[in-house]
Amino acid sequence: KVKPQLEEKEGKTFDVFTAVEFKTQVVAGTNFFIKVHVGNEEFVHLRVFRSLPHEKKPLSLHSYQSSKTKHDDLTFF
């Protein structure tokens, strides 16, 4: 659901978009930190926010870090 948001921010499309690891952080909703393989040896780290259920808002891409590798640690950012 956040792939189009990232593609818009990056100004390109991703043929490969596979989540390989994730962590969560509970706030007033949930932050998901997701390592995504986007092709070749390239990865991006996403911070996706899911609001509380009663707010009925879609998932939103809060921020991201590009130019990551498979071996970069997925950390909170």
pLDDT at 65: 96
As a whole number, mean pLDDT of residues 15-20 equals 96
Domain assignments of the chain as residue spans, ordered by start: 1-69
Please give the mean pLDDT across all residues of the chain.
94
The pTM (predicted TM-score) of the whole model is 0.89
Strand ranges inside 1-77, DSSP E: 18-27, 29-37, 43-50, 60-68
Q: How confident is the model at residue 43 (pLDDT cuts 50, 70, 90)?
A: very high
pLDDT at 1: 87
Q: How confident is the model at residue 37 (pLDDT cuts 50, 70, 90)?
A: very high
Give the H or E element holding residue 9. Answer: helix 3-10
